[in-house]
Structure 1
């Protein structure tokens, strides 16, 4: 019998990411997963132009940056076991001991050397007001918590300048701005920040530090996520102008702060300028804009693939790194270095030089010992004529003439996508004897703004697309047993799973994960509810009460006949625990077949970054539920 991937094989993956480049040298981060120790460890590796070798020996080393002269590497770590603070280190490129420069109480979000290499700008959260010494949370603002971080009220991220020799640090930016990214150019510090995250939660602006004052350069109405200062005083911005709310694609723009002129450089490619593909075994992603020889390099999601593109200031666009795969991180020195994965190959490091591509690492070569199911693409013509990308994966050890149960997987977002990226969960299910069906229905990213825009219409065309995908799969693949199909998904996919079981009985088992069941409670409890729900559903619960309830799966709980497992986490602040609790209570009260699994201490990213033992247990629960009801 061929050997498929099991749940506990999660511990074999090596997650490669966070590249930085200096000329022909590369430094990058490799994260290891230990199921036995229930922990993650990471260290830095160096490529000197000839070979890859381990560079640091810490257990929590990451986020490397070269100094401008390439002699030092700055990185973050947590080597002091007694301390909860994040630590900033520097280490000589030619080897030697890493030297601790500074510690930061709430972590390090970004770091970058000054142009002369004498200082390092560090973005870190601080308390902007004194908090009571007791354990009472006195909250005066929104948002009060954020998924994966915890309590954020009374905190703002600021920039500290750390002396690269002495470690002395001083704050550069004011406490009222929440900083996310920094760059130096021509002796000036530029940075991205939010000024009013309560009333303008989707707006982030570009600033310059003018003396001791922060001067805003953009008009306070866009979401700027990256930027490059140019020598003529203009900028390339990676920004979302929000004409269509959240479904608006993020593009690259040329911006002149003097005239206020904003010119879209990537108007000929209606795609998001970032990687939105789903994967549950990816490394730390660093895919910042790079300006080189008149071209701006960036990653964009194009249907089921994420590739590297470049655009010049005239708006000419070229695809630089192509293929049915997901580019995760990249950096450019004397050549292009990038990490990438596909549906059967975990992430590795590659270089592209003089048009020739070469693979540098084989951290996940162990995968070749396993029998993996290659996704088979099929196109579905939806009822309104649109084309939907869909795939099936056959069970490991597939036997012609045999009928197999199937599981429909639904991605989150909704503005993300499935495609040519590795999904451990899918391979676990195929190893257990299931067919896996997945697709990119309306609402998905990578197909243009019209395709992605389902605001106000959740559970309509997107639901129809999914049902038509299942219909087409049954028509094309006679080995799928139409009487034994399950459905699962997380986040938006969890919402849609809840919606499906309230609107059809065709599925014989369902697992809903980190889901939304009630838009009214979602609005008032989650980190993004107060702006995401108005954007996606329309209005608020007071002026659009009917639609908030009509689009809530909780309303249709009396219709549910499908055995349902609800998976939720106690610290999921994106779709907070009450979303799972109230759906479970309703179904239990109504006498339905339902079970609830609650993961303590986990957040919305349980499947991607939770404790290893919890991630394994989650996979066992999903596969076990499907086996219980479909086999």
Structure 2
């Protein structure tokens, strides 16, 4: 079916997109399991598990109902699978035979159990559970729905006593006294054993091939509340002795034992450029404790830094060892794409798969290698990477949606910034594009700022193109994908060269695409992109409409109200509140409101703790008092993730407000 015979995309199509994640190969390499997430009729999401043979074109659905069934993990013999499901009300662990049958509930922990992993002998499962100091893992009882409701009501009547710096976080909300501990379940005796007890959060990284050690990450320092470091620890299960692998100066994760049990590989960094620091790939020798950095001569981001609005669910980014402990596989982010790389223990890397798209996850064992891939006109599917480097498509989860809807293929462009730096971007032509016609234009600015737009599916971009706009999205300095100097270049210069990069992008598009109407330019962005939208309309009147989403308008107050403000402000702007309040005010778009003549829509979530709603509120009140053209849309119960994982109806409503505003003024 041709592009022109298909209909234009709508905001409601968001509910039709099937998002796949977390591929897991069966130990014998014959089949794989994955998670599929879709919107349901209750204005929420359902995640189901599927199993598919690598010889088959059709996946078999394993779980049903409206629950979120995620994190499938095969037992070492491939006969069983443990997974996480909230079908009973909170996330618990369930066990099912791979040849079918009813799933058995393993845990009834009051606050749930998550992220299960098998011991190499298949006799134990180690998982994470939020526990209070006095909790007994052998006496955990799940609350009924009525009991949970009553407990929530009682809690809402009590004041929150705060004595920690890290007392809240976006998505999770206000913290309590529970800490994530590691727990072991013995399948033979059906008993539980708590493995960690320190009053901090523990994250299971891996279980050693001998089954006698586990690798976890945590900050066990007394000053943990004031630090952002995260270390790796080895826990000897027979003796309960804990050994620190890292040095207390960095942030480490994605850690894995080598199959021979001699080494640990992980991603990490030591904050050389604060939050703009590229990940490194480290190898630790367990016997000697010696650390080797394999990536010290590389200049690209390890892992997946691609930004989009439809990916849900975690997927493997690496590093993952090969069977003989000589190589590692990992994802890397470069020039608007993510690819699969391989490296040996001398640091020599090579490309395993690269096709200018978004590899969002992978699974490998034996001769089988499964990739999760998305591109601008494909929300995501799984593919087998064959020995000859060819890919074979395994799933086709959005066939019906893609057969029905026209999507715009982006044109990649590269232009020169004012100081000669090369900046990459993409341009979408509008639905039903006709040569000779003039079209309104929208500039999209990503958040982060240390993230990357690129060759992945982005519903919001496609929707704006479907509504008749030329859409431009770029990676100005500060973005990932172009090396350490580039990603660090916006720090202490917000609204400086990052702003002129974006204006140069607009100039380039206007000069090179004669179908853009110069008098109908719009701009939008979220988070840092919201800050930049505010900054843009405070420094130029060339745009006729703007939509600022989950924005920052006042760095003076952001410092104290954001869950990250107390460190992010200093790290990104170079100054803290007490050091130089004038500098923070100079960086604040609120200072420039008298210059703002562009009609501005402010979109914000009430429960956003990353960029709290007072940021949007201050901007609205100031502009309204100045009698400027401004409107404020507040989304109840929505956090900073509104556009990505918010309630489906809220996400659609948000898109309708954005398109309404641009239709009104462009």
Q: What TM-score, normalized by structure 2, do the two folds share?
A: 0.91
Shift in CA distance, 7/157, structure 1 to aligned 2, threshold 3 Å: same
Shift in CA distance, 444/107, structure 1 to aligned 2, threshold 3 Å: farther
Mapping of 1:11-90 within 5 angstroms? 11-22=15-26, 23-34=29-40, 36-51=41-56, 52-59=59-66, 60-80=68-88, 83=89, 85-90=90-95
The answer to whether the aligner puts 1:503 opposite 2:539 as a matched pair is: yes
Mapping of 1:616-631 within 5 angstroms? 616-630=652-666
User: Cα distance, 1:215 vs. partner?
Assistant: 2.6
Q: Aligned with 1:162: secondary structure?
A: strand
The answer as to whether partners of 1:486 and 1:510 remain within 8 angstroms in 2 is: yes
User: Cα distance, 1:198 vs. partner?
Assistant: 4.8
User: Cα distance, 1:257 vs. partner?
Assistant: 5.9
Deviates more, 1:445-454 or 1:40-49: 40-49
User: Cα distance, 1:188 vs. partner?
Assistant: 0.7
> Aligned equivalents of 2:218 and 2:124: distance in 1?
21
Deviates more, 1:36-45 or 1:621-630: 36-45
> Aligned equivalents of 1:569 and 1:214: distance in 2?
42
User: Cα distance, 1:124 vs. partner?
Assistant: 2.4
The answer as to whether partners of 1:181 and 1:226 remain within 8 angstroms in 2 is: no
The answer as to whether partners of 1:142 and 1:198 remain within 8 angstroms in 2 is: no
Match of 1:272 in 2: 301
Tell me, which stretches of 5 or more residues in structure 2 are unaligned?
136-150
Q: Aligned with 1:338: secondary structure?
A: strand
Q: Aligned with 1:102: secondary structure?
A: coil
The answer as to whether partners of 2:453 and 2:475 remain within 8 angstroms in 1 is: yes
The answer to whether the aligner puts 1:357 opposite 2:385 as a matched pair is: no
What's the CA shift string for 1:544-570, capped at 9, x where partnerless?
222111111111111111110011101
User: Cα distance, 1:102 vs. partner?
Assistant: 0.1
Match of 1:382 in 2: 417
Shift in CA distance, 95/236, structure 1 to aligned 2, threshold 3 Å: same
User: Cα distance, 1:609 vs. partner?
Assistant: 0.4
Mapping of 1:220-369 within 5 angstroms? 220-230=248-258, 231=260, 233-256=262-285, 261-287=290-316, 288-292=318-322, 293=324, 294-334=326-366, 335-355=368-388, 356-366=390-400, 367-369=402-404
The answer as to whether partners of 2:164 and 2:225 remain within 8 angstroms in 1 is: no
Shift in CA distance, 415/79, structure 1 to aligned 2, threshold 3 Å: same
User: Cα distance, 1:295 vs. partner?
Assistant: 1.1
Match of 1:209 in 2: 235
> Aligned equivalents of 1:411 and 1:107: distance in 2?
35
Deviates more, 1:108-117 or 1:252-261: 252-261
The answer to whether the aligner puts 1:458 opposite 2:494 as a matched pair is: yes
The answer as to whether partners of 1:173 and 1:214 remain within 8 angstroms in 2 is: no
The answer as to whether partners of 1:32 and 1:42 remain within 8 angstroms in 2 is: yes
Match of 1:193 in 2: 218
Shift in CA distance, 166/353, structure 1 to aligned 2, threshold 3 Å: farther
The answer as to whether partners of 2:205 and 2:255 remain within 8 angstroms in 1 is: no
Match of 2:127 in 1: 122
User: Cα distance, 1:200 vs. partner?
Assistant: 4.8
User: Cα distance, 1:109 vs. partner?
Assistant: 4.5
User: Cα distance, 1:199 vs. partner?
Assistant: 4.6
Shift in CA distance, 564/200, structure 1 to aligned 2, threshold 3 Å: same
Q: Aligned with 2:301: secondary structure?
A: coil
Shift in CA distance, 166/16, structure 1 to aligned 2, threshold 3 Å: farther
Shift in CA distance, 136/361, structure 1 to aligned 2, threshold 3 Å: same
Return the match for 1:10 from 14, 18, 27. Answer: 14
The answer as to whether partners of 2:443 and 2:473 remain within 8 angstroms in 1 is: yes
User: Cα distance, 1:57 vs. partner?
Assistant: 2.2
User: Cα distance, 1:129 vs. partner?
Assistant: 7.5
Shift in CA distance, 477/128, structure 1 to aligned 2, threshold 3 Å: farther
User: Cα distance, 1:183 vs. partner?
Assistant: 0.9
Q: What TM-score, normalized by structure 1, do the two folds share?
A: 0.96
The answer as to whether partners of 2:54 and 2:394 remain within 8 angstroms in 1 is: no
The answer as to whether partners of 1:330 and 1:337 remain within 8 angstroms in 2 is: yes
Q: Aligned with 1:103: secondary structure?
A: coil
User: Cα distance, 1:232 vs. partner?
Assistant: 6.1
> Aligned equivalents of 1:88 and 1:526: distance in 2?
34
The answer to whether the aligner puts 1:159 opposite 2:182 as a matched pair is: yes
> Aligned equivalents of 1:529 and 1:127: distance in 2?
28
> Aligned equivalents of 1:277 and 1:447: distance in 2?
13
Shift in CA distance, 461/129, structure 1 to aligned 2, threshold 3 Å: farther
The answer as to whether partners of 1:101 and 1:164 remain within 8 angstroms in 2 is: no
> Aligned equivalents of 2:168 and 2:250: distance in 1?
23
What's the CA shift string for 1:211-237, capped at 9, x where partnerless?
234332211111002112234643212
What's the CA shift string for 1:472-512, capped at 9, x where partnerless?
00000011011100000001101100111111111110000
The answer as to whether partners of 1:62 and 1:77 remain within 8 angstroms in 2 is: yes
What's the CA shift string for 1:323-348, capped at 9, x where partnerless?
11111121112311121100111111
Return the match for 1:579 from 606, 611, 615. Answer: 615
Shift in CA distance, 245/78, structure 1 to aligned 2, threshold 3 Å: same
> Aligned equivalents of 2:352 and 2:292: distance in 1?
23
User: Cα distance, 1:251 vs. partner?
Assistant: 1.6
> Aligned equivalents of 1:408 and 1:166: distance in 2?
60
User: Cα distance, 1:107 vs. partner?
Assistant: 4.2
The answer as to whether partners of 2:215 and 2:255 remain within 8 angstroms in 1 is: no
Kindly tell me the number of residue pairs found equivalent between the two proteins. Answer: 626
Match of 2:570 in 1: 534
Mapping of 1:467-546 within 5 angstroms? 467-546=503-582
Match of 1:178 in 2: 201
